[in-house]
């Protein structure tokens, strides 16, 4: 028995996983949870688009603490050593709990996009591998069944998680989970985070066919929060990305990321797009620590790659987040202001008529001047060339072109002289 326990302990130490005693009820509940991923070797399309490794000579996000308010974080070898702290704010769900750190896998996936370590075995890695992640679990094994639309949480839950992240020294707070309730306590927690110099990045969520009209995503819709929408590999916004409170867009369709326990897999949604923007913030803050959170956000907006609908689009915001330019570009100081609307100039009818008459007179003057110039040329030509023409009797001064004669084309042999004389014998 002791040998068996020793082998179990050694296996846990090697894999980095804690030994957990699983009851039959918990094992049944775990059947509905996300399983480990696979070994995906190619470089994901999102990394080819954003090319975050170009900026690593300047910044890897070292020294930054990114709080992820999601479904928790399960251990994954690519996240080893970069999960700084965990806290659980999720209300108890119905049924037997699974006992897993992340049953749904969303929080693990978001954290992988942020801080997964490079590996020679796979092409995937996080955007800011030098950053540390704070896990604030706001969703248990499933989203609350009493929420409409689904996959949302109570604002009180997000409030508690944001306040915890502020108290734990987060420099970036990523909120992939959404509420559609404008809550005073949640608004206050967001303002508290902003007043501490923290950058808050939040997903705008996805639209549903049966959702109530006029939904607004929070905290993405609050002032000072960066709202994030999702784009696909072709650079076009995903079909169900909500066009509300969008400030930036990032990859969010079939993106590769870490799965619970081990391996990789694909995932979709604005919550994963939020991870790319939050990781970019970590890169900027690590390289430019002197910038305020407002300056960091303005830098992200100013360096975003152009989107199909241009700046200010409801679907694309300022454009596609660009990690390299956000870190390396020099941004002009000052706050851009909106130009006043163009006021059309009203012209008095009498002034307009007078101007039209002057334009007509100018046209006639030009025509008469051109005609006079042409007449001068004609008179000059008559005076100069007239006497010469009379002397030549108006004949052309050039020699006629030689004409070929028919006999010249087919010459005959010469006639032989004295051909009529008889030949001598």
Cα separation, 51 vs 324, whole angstroms: 8
Q: What is the pLDDT of residue 332?
A: 65
Q: Which residues of 39-71 are buried (b: 16+ CB within 10 A; e: fewer)?
A: ebeeebbbbebbebbebbeebbbeebbbbbbbb
Where is average pLDDT lowest: 286-290, 401-405, 421-425? Answer: 421-425
In a shared domain, residues 60 and 117: yes
Most confident of 92-96, 258-262, 343-347: 258-262
DSSP states along 243-298: -SS--EEEE-SSEEEE-SSS-EEEE-SHHHHHHHHHHHHHHHHHH-TTS-HHHHHH
299, containing H or E segment = helix 293-302
Average pLDDT, the chain: 85
Nearest by Cα to 170 from 32, 285, 11: 285
- Mean pLDDT of the region 327-335: 75
Where is average pLDDT lowest: 112-121, 136-145, 247-256, 342-351? Answer: 342-351
- Mean pLDDT of the region 201-205: 97
Q: Is residue 370 in some structural domain?
A: yes
Which residues, in sequence order, are CB contacts of 103 under 8 Å at separation 6+? 29, 30, 32, 33, 34, 71, 72, 140, 141, 142
In a shared domain, residues 128 and 60: yes
In a shared domain, residues 250 and 367: no
Where is average pLDDT lowest: 115-124, 210-219, 334-343, 361-370? Answer: 334-343
Q: What is the pLDDT of residue 11?
A: 37
Cα separation, 84 vs 62, whole angstroms: 13
In a shared domain, residues 187 and 96: yes
Q: What is the pLDDT of residue 9?
A: 36
Cα separation, 251 vs 246, whole angstroms: 14
Would you mind telling me the total number of residues written for the chain in this entry?
A: 425
Give the domain extent around 306: 33-328
Which residue shows structure tokens 């942020």? 114
DSSP states along 103-126: SS-HHHHHHHHHHPPP-SS-S---
Confidence of residue 162 (pLDDT cuts 50, 70, 90): very high
186 phi and psi angles, rounded to 5 deg:
-65, -40
Q: Is residue 224 in some structural domain?
A: yes
| Residue 156, both tokens | 């009180």
In a shared domain, residues 250 and 211: yes
In a shared domain, residues 373 and 307: no
Q: Kindly report, residue by residue over 117-134, the tens digit of the pLDDT.
A: 999 899 999 999 999 999
Cα separation, 4 vs 7, whole angstroms: 5
- Mean pLDDT of the region 293-306: 96
Confidence of residue 68 (pLDDT cuts 50, 70, 90): very high
Cα separation, 242 vs 206, whole angstroms: 5
| Residue 131, both tokens | 């950053």
Q: Which residue has the higher pLDDT, 176 or 344?
A: 176
This prediction has a pTM of: 0.73
Q: Is residue 10 in some structural domain?
A: no
| Residue 149, both tokens | 């639309």
In a shared domain, residues 353 and 324: no
Q: Is residue 199 in some structural domain?
A: yes
Say if residue 143's pLDDT is above 90. no
Q: Is residue 304 in some structural domain?
A: yes
Q: CA distances (Å), 138 to each of 68, 312, 327, in order?
A: 10, 32, 31
In a shared domain, residues 95 and 219: yes
Q: Which residue has the higher pLDDT, 341 or 247?
A: 247
Confidence of residue 181 (pLDDT cuts 50, 70, 90): very high
Q: What is the pLDDT of residue 55?
A: 96
Residue 330 has a CB neighbour count (10 Å cut-off) of 4
- Mean pLDDT of the region 323-343: 76
Q: What is the pLDDT of residue 90?
A: 92
Q: Looking at residue 194, which CATH number applies to its domain?
A: 3.40.50.200
Cα separation, 419 vs 53, whole angstroms: 107
Where is average pLDDT lowest: 142-146, 385-389, 420-424? Answer: 420-424
Q: Is residue 99 in some structural domain?
A: yes
Where is average pLDDT lowest: 32-41, 183-192, 367-376, 395-404? Answer: 395-404
Beta strands in 71-224 (DSSP E): 83-88, 132-137, 172-175, 199-203
Q: What is the pLDDT of residue 25?
A: 54
Q: Is residue 13 in some structural domain?
A: no
Q: What is the pLDDT of residue 334?
A: 60
In a shared domain, residues 232 and 276: yes
Cα separation, 228 vs 280, whole angstroms: 13
| Residue 318, both tokens | 């300022």
Which residues, in sequence order, are CB contacts of 294 under 8 Å at separation 6+? 224
Cα separation, 348 vs 51, whole angstroms: 59
Q: Kindly report, residue by residue over 373-420, the tens digit of the pLDDT.
A: 888 888 887 887 777 667 766 666 666 666 666 555 555 555 555 555
In a shared domain, residues 354 and 320: no
Q: What is the pLDDT of residue 38?
A: 87
Q: What is the pLDDT of residue 280?
A: 98
Which residues, in sequence order, are CB contacts of 196 under 8 Å at separation 6+? 166
Number of structural domains, the chain?
Answer: 2
| Residue 208, both tokens | 């549903």
In a shared domain, residues 249 and 363: no
Q: What is the pLDDT of residue 97?
A: 85
In a shared domain, residues 238 and 372: no
- Please tell me whether residue 237 adopts helix, strand or coil conformation: strand
Say if residue 23's pLDDT is above 80. no
Q: Is residue 323 in some structural domain?
A: yes
- Mean pLDDT of the region 219-247: 96
Look at residues 299, 328, 357 and tell me which one is the last residue of a structural domain: 328
Peptide bond before residue 219 is cis, with ω within 30 degrees of 0: yes
- Please tell me whether residue 200 adopts helix, strand or coil conformation: strand
């Amino acid at each position: 028995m002791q040998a068996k326990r020793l082998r179990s302990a050694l296996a846990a130490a090697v894999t980095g996983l804690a030994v957990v005693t699983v009851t039959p009820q918990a094992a049944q509940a775990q059947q509905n949870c996300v399983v480990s991923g696979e070994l995906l070797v190619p470089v994901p399309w999102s990394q080819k688009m954003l090319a975050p490794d170009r900026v690593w000579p300047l910044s890897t996000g070292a020294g930054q603490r990114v709080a992820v308010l999601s479904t928790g974080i399960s251990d994954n070898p690519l996240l080893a050593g970069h999960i700084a702290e965990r806290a659980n704010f999720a209300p108890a769900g119905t049924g037997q709990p699974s006992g897993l750190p992340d049953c749904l896998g969303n929080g693990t996936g978001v954290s992988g996009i942020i801080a997964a370590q490079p590996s020679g075995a796979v092409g995937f890695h996080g955007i800011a591998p030098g950053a540390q992640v704070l896990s604030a679990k706001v969703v248990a094994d499933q989203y609350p069944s009493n929420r409409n639309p689904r996959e949302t949480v109570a604002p009180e839950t997000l409030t508690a998680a944001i306040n915890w992240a502020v108290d734990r020294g987060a420099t970036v707070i990523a909120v992939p989970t959404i509420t559609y309730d404008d809550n005073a306590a949640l608004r206050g927690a967001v303002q508290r985070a902003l007043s501490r110099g923290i950058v808050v990045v939040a997903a705008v969520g996805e639209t549903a066919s049966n959702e109530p009209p006029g939904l607004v995503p929070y905290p993405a819709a609050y002032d000072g929060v960066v709202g994030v929408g999702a784009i696909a590999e072709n650079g076009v916004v995903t079909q169900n990305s909500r066009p509300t409170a969008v400030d930036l867009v990032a990859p969010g369709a079939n993106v590769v990321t870490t799965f619970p326990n081990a391996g990789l897999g694909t995932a979709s949604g604005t919550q994963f797009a939020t991870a790319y923007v939050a990781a970019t913030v970590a890169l900027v803050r690590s390289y430019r620590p002197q910038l305020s959170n407002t300056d960091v956000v303005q830098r992200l907006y100013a360096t975003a790659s152009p989107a199909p609908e241009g700046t200010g689009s409801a679907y694309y915001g300022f454009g596609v987040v660009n990690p390299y330019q956000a870190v390396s570009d020099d941004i002009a100081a000052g706050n851009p202001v909106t130009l006043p609307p163009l006021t059309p100039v009203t012209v008095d009818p009498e002034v307009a008529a007078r101007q039209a008459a002057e334009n007509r007179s100018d046209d006639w003057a030009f025509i008469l001047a051109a005609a006079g110039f042409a007449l001068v040329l004609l008179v000059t030509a008559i005076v100069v060339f007239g006497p010469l023409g009379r002397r030549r009797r108006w004949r052309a001064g050039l020699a006629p072109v030689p004409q070929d004669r028919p006999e010249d084309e087919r010459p005959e042999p010469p006639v032989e002289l004295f051909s009529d004389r008889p030949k001598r014998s």
